[in-house]
């Protein structure tokens, strides 16, 4: 058997085993009773050890060496490149560092769950220092192996091919106009009037509404489900995608858009290339491209006036028993779904202020990894940047400031930029679709969404990781990622009558 | 490290990996959308190969050899014995026979799903012949290795220590009195009058009722769940037991008792000995003892007048909105839950006629394995025995006769006796409890069930597989399994005013 075929066999084996872990992780969040957590965590850790061994085994490195000399077609070459990337990124980390970081992170994250509500910066910072120290070690090892800077090496884990230089350019551009946009959009929102739909809403109705909207968006319920968890996510496997939401009996506004968002992730997963499924080359290209799909669904489609018009009859059907209430008028819904208001919390932020939260975190984590900043500098720097970007003070307010996110406690430095890259990808993709497909807006309001999704499927979803991120977006849109589409989108939606 | 400790490490690793398979199997039946079945089956097969390798690895045999000479306490000796039993039973089978049987069985079972409704005996019998041939090979290999007869070697898989000689005695006893009991009980039932509760019943109400009854029966919802599947079962793992039921909007009678039944299995699983959890010695002792717990819950407790009195207020609360309807009167409920009527289908059989279904299958499968019967004899023999035991003809009616069960298509010859052994264990355990705990019946009707369950926990559940089945039941009840308790139970319930 050719070395490449041996690699295919090994990675497909890993795919099958990861199926069970992905399902158990979904179940842990969506189904599992709390008393089972220890047994579940031990089972997942055992499997993680086992798949780590299978991925980093010395024969895998040998097969890669040999396969490089084999006669492969273009897709196989891309496939080998992605196998190699996974192998290198995983095997470069010494086992004792993996274990030490995993222990420090799970300890920090566990304590953070109670420290955050107590605003306990002293307790938290000690744990975070340990996680940061180990992440710096990690970044330094990855840097040596890949030849890029330590922070760039961390970025590589989430956004292959993206580096600080590119981010500085993109985010530098955004910083030029964002404060003004935020101010204008906030003022416009403050002078608007709207009425919130009143509950109580029965869970069964909210669920039926969510499922009907997912069906409209092309979610394949024959290979996926919608369930409930404390923090909504898209999990499971490509062949069985499990998305979650949460229901509140007095508010459907954000949870419904959350379902739209996760459906974007889900469709990307459900439409990965079948012919290479199980191999790394079939994976979603990057976290940014993944977020690009969810934000395309939520921001480009979901919050558009045309989409709100399309789903308005479903809202009436499931939530008012068909009655036309003022809060469900199209103009009112549109105003609600376009509120802009600077706030402390990233996950509650609107589309306009969100990039400020991300740029702040990007600048801080870059400095934390390079050593230009220490954990003890964090609260002051956070406060200064919040003042500068959103005119808010977090002095002494750690829980709504630098303690709000789970990412750093978990050691996921380098992840945050993906969110705003995703917003930019979404805007650039939609701009291209607008230029490619006639009457896109009319098609949205009449529910002819499949023409849009087919374009995404052809140009993004079915491409998996065949191309580099830059090549993928250039092939799809004619140019590399460019913040101007995002700027134009925000301007059209929030600053234009 | 001592060899015994290495074995402990290996079996705990298997326990953690089996956690993921058990969960995925539950999900496949209770949650999974049908389009995901192939990916799921492939994932489970991959894991099964992997755990098979870990269990049968040559070092495991070596460790067992060495551990036999190590200084072990009594519990460790029992633990080693159970490890050895799993190792021997698994490794004695040649890999190609395992694969051939698995393929033949899954092919036979898959075809059976459509052949049964079509009454297609010709098509089915060809597949069953292949499965039987491979099972005979299996039985012969197991027989050579263990020194018992081929059918006894198959029984060993489900009922360690039980053999044909014992079954012939137990079932021979039952055959003496059962036909008369069936006739008398049927006549008594036919002269009774009752009214069926009328639906429609909302699923949410049936579910809330089921959960409240499970709580009454001590199910730990902090380490388990109740969900829905086409065929009710008890799955998951000891630390996270997942039972299922199904709801019909016009009938709650059997599904409620199904929940009681599965709760019996569940409590056995939830109360396995914690100190050896993960090792074979903590497993339920046998399929018969397991069924003994579920039938204890269903037949000894669940269908008693006292238990029906206890749950009657819950039925009114969830199903009639509190209204006292005639169908919910205690006498009426008792009559419904004690209907006796010979029928074709084992899974629909009442407590009195059930053993006839089992004895028939036992006699046939024993002859099929020994070679005294062939698959082509099956329909005639089935018909003759049904006539003899239940006075029913299955001539030409294969689908309600010898094609009704999934066990033989799957190659699970030797399993059927466990059902009636379970009924006998349940009766013997309850008889002992009646002699041990004062006023048991009054305690049931007043809901003081924990004293009964604590006795089961101490005497059966917490013992795992520490003792042989015979020793376990003798320690608990003062004597080995004896059909007379079951006979007395049936007599008291069905033939006595």
pLDDT in tens, A86-115: 999 999 999 899 999 999 999 999 899 999
Nearest to B19 among A34, A39, A220 (CB): A39
Q: How far is B291 from chain A (nearest CA, A)?
A: 24
Three-state secondary structure call for residue A337: coil
* Minimal Cβ distance to A39: which of B17, B36, B237: B237
Q: Cα(B11)–Cα(B67) distance, rounded to whole angstroms?
A: 14
Alpha-carbon gap: A225 to the closest alpha carbon of chain B (Å): 7
Confidence (pLDDT) at B467? 98
B295-322 residues labelled b (16+ CB within 10 A) or e (exposed) = bbbbbbbbbbbbbbbbbeebbeebbbee
Chain-chain contact of B220 with A35 (C-beta, under 8 angstroms) = yes
Q: Name which of B376, B365, B352 is nearest B489 in CA terms.
A: B352
Residue B102: name the closest of B59, B140, B138, B74 by CA.
B138
Nearest chain A Cα to B31, which residue?
A225
- Sheet with B234-237: strands ordered across: B224-228, B240-245, B234-237
Which pLDDT value is given to residue A1?
83
CA B188 to chain centre: 29
**Containing H/E element for B31?**
none
- Note whether B433 and B452 are within 8 A (CB): yes
Does A212 participate in catalysis according to the annotation?
Answer: no
Q: Are A333 and A308 in contact (CB under 8 A)?
A: yes
Rounded distance, CA B167 to CA B288, Å? 12
Question: How many cross-chain Cβ pairs, A to B, lie less than 8 Å apart?
Answer: 100
Q: What dihedral do alpha carbons A19, A21, A26, A29 form, nearest 10°? A: 180
Asked if the B147-497 domain carries CATH number 3.90.650.10, the reply is: no
Say which residue the tokens 């959103």 belong to.
A390
Tokens 């979404």 sit on residue: A426
Q: Is A250 helix (H, G, I), strand (E, B) or coil?
A: coil
**Count helices and strands in chain A by DSSP H and E runs:** 20, 3
* A265 annotated as a binding-site residue: yes
Which chain A residues contact residue B45 at CB under 8 A? 16
Q: Which fold would CATH assign to domain A161-497?
A: 1.10.1370
| pLDDT confidence of residue B1 | 83
Q: What is the pLDDT of residue B56?
A: 97
Cα angle for residues A231, A347, A235 (degrees, 5° grid): 35
Which one of B34, B43, B224 has the shortest CB-CB distance to A20? B43
Under an 8 A CB cutoff, do B43 and A17 touch? yes
Is B340:B352 a contact under the CB 8 Å cutoff? yes
Q: For residue A20, which residues of chain B lie inside 8 Å, CB to CB?
A: 20-21, 23-24, 43-44, 47
Question: How far apart are the C-alpha atoms of B280 and B9, rounded to whole Å?
Answer: 12
> How far apart are the two ends of chain A, measured CA to CA in Å?
65
Adjacent-strand bridge partners of B234: B243
Binding residue per annotation — B489? no
Residues in chain A, pLDDT under 70: none
> Cα-flanking dihedrals φ and ψ of residue B90, to 5°?
-85, -45
Percent of all residues in chain B with a pLDDT value above 70, rounded to a whole number = 100
- Assess whether pLDDT exceeds 90 at residue B497: no
Interface test with A, best of B13, B14, B43 (most A CBs within 10 A): B43
Chain A residue numbers with beta carbons less than 8 Å from the beta carbon of B34 are: 222
Q: Taking CA atoms, what residue in B is nearest to A21?
A: B20
In angstroms, the Cα distances linking B328 to A41, A164, B194, B462 are: 46, 73, 10, 37
Distance of CA B224 to the CA centre of its chain: 19
Sign of the CA dihedral A201, A202, A207, A209?
Answer: negative
pLDDT in tens, A108-136: 998 999 999 999 999 999 999 999 999 99
Nearest to A42 among B16, B44, B222 (CB): B16
Return d(Cα A121, Cα A111) in angstroms, integer: 11
What is the least distance, in Å, from the CA of B16 to any CA of chain A?
A: 4
How many Cα atoms occupy the beta-carbon half-sphere of A473 within 13 Å? 26
The interface predicted TM-score (ipTM) is 0.95
Q: What is the CA radius of gyration of chain A?
A: 23
Q: Which one is catalytic: B138, B159, B262, B269?
A: B262
Q: Do B17 and A46 touch (CB under 8 A)?
A: yes
Q: % helix / strand / coil in chain A, to the nearest 5?
A: 70, 5, 30
- CA pair distance B209, B200, nearest whole angstrom: 15
């Amino acid at each position: 058997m050719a070395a490449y075929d041996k690699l295919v066999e090994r990675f497909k084996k890993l795919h099958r085993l990861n199926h069970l872990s992905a399902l158990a992780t979904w179940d842990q969040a969506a189904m599992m009773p709390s008393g089972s957590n220890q047994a579940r965590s031990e089972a997942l850790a055992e499997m993680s050890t086992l798949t780590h061994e299978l991925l980093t085994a010395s024969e895998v490195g040998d097969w890669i060496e040999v396969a490089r000399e084999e006669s492969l077609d273009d897709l196989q070459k891309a496939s080998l490149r992605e196998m190699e990337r996974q192998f290198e990124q995983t095997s470069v980390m010494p086992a004792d560092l993996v274990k030490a970081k995993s222990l420090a992170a799970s300890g920090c994250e566990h304590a953070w769950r109670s420290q955050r509500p107590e605003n306990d910066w002293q307790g938290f910072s000690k744990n975070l220092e340990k996680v940061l120290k180990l992440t710096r070690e990690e970044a330094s090892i990855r840097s040596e192996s890949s030849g890029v800077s330590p922070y760039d090496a961390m970025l590589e884990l989430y956004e292959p091919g993206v580096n600080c230089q590119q981010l500085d350019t993109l985010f530098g551009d955004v910083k030029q106009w964002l404060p003004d946009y935020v101010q204008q959009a906030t003022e416009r929102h403050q002078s608007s009037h709207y009425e919130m739909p009143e509950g109580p809403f029965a869970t069964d109705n909210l669920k039926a509404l969510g499922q009907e909207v997912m069906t409209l968006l092309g979610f394949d319920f024959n290979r996926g489900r919608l369930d409930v968890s404390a923090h909504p996510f898209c999990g499971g496997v490509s062949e069985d995608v499990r998305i979650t939401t949460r229901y509140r009996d007095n508010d459907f506004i954000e949870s419904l858009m959350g379902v739209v968002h996760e459906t974007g992730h889900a469709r990307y997963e459900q439409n990965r290339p079948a012919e290479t499924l199980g191999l790394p080359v079939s994976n979603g290209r990057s976290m940014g491209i993944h977020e690009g799909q969810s934000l395309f669904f939520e921001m480009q489609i979901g919050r558009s006036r045309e989409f709100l018009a399309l789903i308005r009859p479903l809202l009436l059907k499931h939530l008012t028993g068909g009655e036309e209430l003022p809060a469900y008028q199209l103009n009112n819904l549109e105003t609600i779904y376009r509120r802009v208001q600077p706030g402390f919390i990233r996950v509650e932020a609107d589309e306009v202020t969100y990039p400020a939260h991300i740029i702040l975190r990007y600048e801080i984590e870059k400095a934390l990894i390079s050593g230009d900043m220490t954990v003890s500098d964090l609260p002051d720097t956070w406060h200064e940047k919040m003042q500068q970007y959103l005119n808010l003070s977090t002095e002494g307010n750690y829980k709504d400031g630098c303690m709000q996110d789970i990412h750093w406690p978990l050691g996921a430095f380098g992840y945050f930029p993906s969110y705003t890259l995703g917003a930019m990808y979404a805007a650039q993709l939609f701009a291209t679709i607008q230029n490619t497909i006639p009457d896109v807006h009319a098609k949205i309001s009449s529910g002819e969404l499949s023409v849009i999704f087919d374009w995404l499927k052809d140009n993004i979803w079915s491409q998996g990781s065949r191309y580099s991120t830059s090549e993928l977006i250039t092939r799809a849109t004619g140019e590399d990622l460019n913040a101007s589409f995002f700027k134009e989108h925000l301007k059209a939606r929030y600053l234009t009558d």
